Amino acid sequence: GLGDPNAPSWGSLLNQGRENIDYTWLIYAPGMAVFLLVTCLNLLGNGLREALDPKSTS
């Protein structure tokens, strides 16, 4: 990527946890952060669609 290669990212933290399979707790924080981000963005998108699209039938 274009960023600082020494800066930790969620992907690099998950990869470290994958490499150290004996220490499974290493993937909990970044994995939960990714899960919560995707869930919140999904809920936000659904709410915006319901609010802005009066023709949607769900």
Task: Give domain status of residue 35, yes or no.
Answer: yes
In a domain, 53, yes or no: yes
pTM for this entry: 0.69
Residue 10 belongs to a domain: no
The parent domain of residue 50 ranges over 27-58
Question: What tokens does 4 get?
Answer: 């600082």
pLDDT on residue 37: 96
User: Is 16 within the bounds of a domain?
Assistant: no
* CB distance 54 to 45 below 8 Å: no
For the chain, what is the domain count? 1
Token output for 9:
């990212």
Is 34 a member of any domain?
yes
What pLDDT does residue 44 have?
98
Which residues are within 8 A (CB) of 3 and not within 5 positions of it... i.e. 6 or more apart?
9
Is residue 2 in a domain? no
A 10 A CB-CB count for 32 gives 10
Q: Identify the pLDDT of residue 57.
A: 63
Both structure tokens of 28: 């909990």
Specify if 38 maps to a domain: yes
Low-confidence residues in the chain, pLDDT < 70? 1, 57-58
Query: What pLDDT is recorded for position 1?
Result: 61
In a domain, 40, yes or no: yes
